[in-house]
Structures are given as C-alpha cells and as structure tokens.
Amino acid sequence: MQSMHTAKAIQYEPGGDTLRIRTVEAAPQAAPAMRDVQLALDPAGFLVAVQFDGEPARPGIALGPASAVASWVPARVLAMESGEVLVTMAAKRVRGGERSPYVPWAIYPETP
C-alpha cells in the first residue's frame, strides 16, 4: 500500500455533487489532472481512503483507519494544483452528502 497523507477536512458541494478532500500534507502538482484511483470504502459505503493507481511515489489520502476498509472501488478523481482531490458523483459513490464518521471536522454547506 502507498504511504498516506491524512485528510484534515472534507467539503461536500451539493451543486456539483463533489466531495473536496484537503490533506494535512499537500501533494501539489503543476496543473489539475484526472487521476485513476482506488476508493476504499467501509461496510456502510463511507470513504476511508484514496489510493492512486500506477503512482507508487504519490501518497494516498487516509480519512479513516485501514481496519475500516471493506472494499475497494476504481474511480477517477480530479487532483488539483493545491493538492486537494475532488471526487465526483460523491453522494452515490462515497455517501458524500452525509457526515463522515472518520473526519469529524468535515465542512458542509448549511441546510435550511
């Protein structure tokens, strides 16, 4: 398994159904790019980790403990210049619209 950076915050953006992941240790890059990844999910379908395919030198992102992983799902994410990672179709893929049990300081839009 790749080395892992720790997620410090996640933000669900309902307008684009996107989950934005910010890490403690950013892995910046020259320009935004789509990356092939494996999404680690717990038994309830919440995101536990993101592991980059074919990029062993690039650290993955851990949101929760490895012991919580129940399955791995292939996906493509947008890796930003800042080191943030955006997961699209997040509500269906990783329960992005719900509070994560692994990142309690998650940032969510206010709901009426």
d(CA 15, CA 109): 10
**Nearest residue to 51 (alpha-carbon basis) of 63, 41, 38:** 38
Ranges of residues in the chain with a pLDDT under 70 are 1-2, 26-30, 55-57, 104-112
Residue 8 contacts residue 105 (beta carbons within 8 Å): yes
Nearest in space to 27 (alpha carbons), one of 84, 83, 79, 78: 83
**Cα–Cα dist 12/43, whole Å:** 20
| pTM to 2 decimal places | 0.84
Q: For the chain, what are the domain ranges?
A: 4-94
pLDDT digits (tens, 9 = 90+) for 6-35: 888 888 888 889 999 988 776 666 678 898
